[in-house]
């Protein structure tokens, strides 16, 4: 139990009150129950509803505002903002961070791991001139219960020999590579794609449903290191890149 006894019947959870307010409101917005433009209850009303102090409510609302889900206006209240789909920032390399930024529990699952000599297609993807050993990995990233992204990755074993020893069962290839291999150059390709049967199956969506595909090739000092393809269900994901010409 927490500091204060909220004498809810439904509790049993050990999450903080702050987290509960946050996810309650987020759910109302994402489910569409509170449409864009809707005024969400005032802080003092939520204070009464959750029987907590204004600071706690304020912290939750401020967080939602910073996440871009709501907009706060003095003297007027807080309002649901436009986009249904939440933001994952293009700068983030790490899907775990993207998912956790959404306030959802993250889970990683390796589907397949295959060591082989590079095919012509592999070499095209990696930008390799000569044949050599590569590692093929397929994994799923979950946000809560739902698949968040399918990852298909090639690692050039000539550049990262140690990868051959790693099973990638407990750690995703992305975080593993970072820190081990400093990258000197990267290239992103972003496009839309209809889910084929394999992808639809993995992501638990309908075949033909639109997906966002982000492919990244990375080089370390002229040597191709990895090629990775992230496939996101369209409705679950929007890339956001925000920038100012001079300073952030």
Partner DNA sequence: CGCTCCAATATGTATATACATAATCGCCAT
Partner DNA sequence: ATGGCGATTATGTATATACATATTGGAGCG
Query: Which positions lie near DNA, rule CB under 7 A?
Result: 1-4, 16-19, 42-44, 51-56, 58, 61-62, 65, 72-78, 129-130
Whole-angstrom distance, CA of residue 58 vs CA of residue 196:
44
Residue 84 interacts with a copy of itself (CB under 8 A): yes or no: yes
Considering the rule CB under 8 A, would residue 94 count as an interface residue with a copy of itself? yes
- Residue 97 CB, shortest distance to a copy of itself, in Å, is 5
Q: Which one among 57, 87, 202, 205 touches a copy of itself, defined by CB under 8 A?
A: 87
In whole angstroms, give the CA distance from residue 100 to residue 143: 8
Name the minimum Å distance from CB 138 to a copy of itself. 19
The contact pattern for a copy of itself, residues 38-77, with x = CB under 8 A and - = no contact, is ----------------------------x-x----x----
Site for a copy of itself in 189-208 (CB under 8 A): 189-194, 208
Cβ neighbours, 10 Å, residue 29: 21
- 3 makes contact with a copy of itself (CB under 8 A): no
Residue 112 to residues 35, 137, 179, 228: CA-CA distances in angstroms?
41, 6, 23, 14
Q: What ranges in 169-218 are assigned the alpha helix state H?
A: 173-177, 197-203
| φ and ψ at residue 228, rounded to 5 degrees | -130, 140
């Amino acid at each position: 139990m927490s500091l204060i006894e909220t004498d809810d019947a439904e509790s049993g959870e050990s999450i903080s009150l702050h987290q509960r307010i946050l996810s309650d409101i987020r759910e109302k917005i994402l489910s569409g129950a509170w449409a864009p433009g809707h005024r969400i209850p005032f802080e003092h009303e939520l204070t009464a509803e959750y029987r907590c102090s204004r600071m706690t409510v304020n912290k939750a609302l401020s967080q939602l505002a910073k996440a871009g889900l709501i907009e706060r206006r003095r003297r007027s209240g807080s309002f649901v903002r436009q986009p249904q789909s939440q933001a994952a920032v293009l700068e983030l390399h790490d899907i775990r961070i993207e998912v956790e930024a959404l306030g959802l529990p993250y889970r990683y699952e390796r589907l397949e791991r295959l060591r082989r000599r590079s095919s012509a297609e592999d070499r095209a993807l990696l930008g390799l001139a000569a044949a050599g050993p590569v590692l093929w990995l397929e994994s799923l990233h979950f946000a809560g219960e739902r698949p968040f992204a399918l990852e298909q990755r090639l690692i050039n074993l000539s550049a990262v020999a140690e990868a051959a020893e790693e099973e990638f069962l407990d750690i995703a290839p992305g975080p593993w590579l970072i820190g081990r291999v400093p990258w000197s150059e990267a290239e992103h390709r972003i496009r839309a794609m209809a889910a084929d049967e394999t992808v639809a199956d993995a992501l638990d969506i309908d075949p033909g449903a639109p997906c966002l595909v982000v492919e990244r090739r990375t080089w370390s000092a002229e040597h191709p290191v990895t090629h990775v393809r992230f496939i996101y269900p369209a409705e679950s994901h929007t890339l956001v890149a925000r920038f100012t010409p001079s300073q952030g």
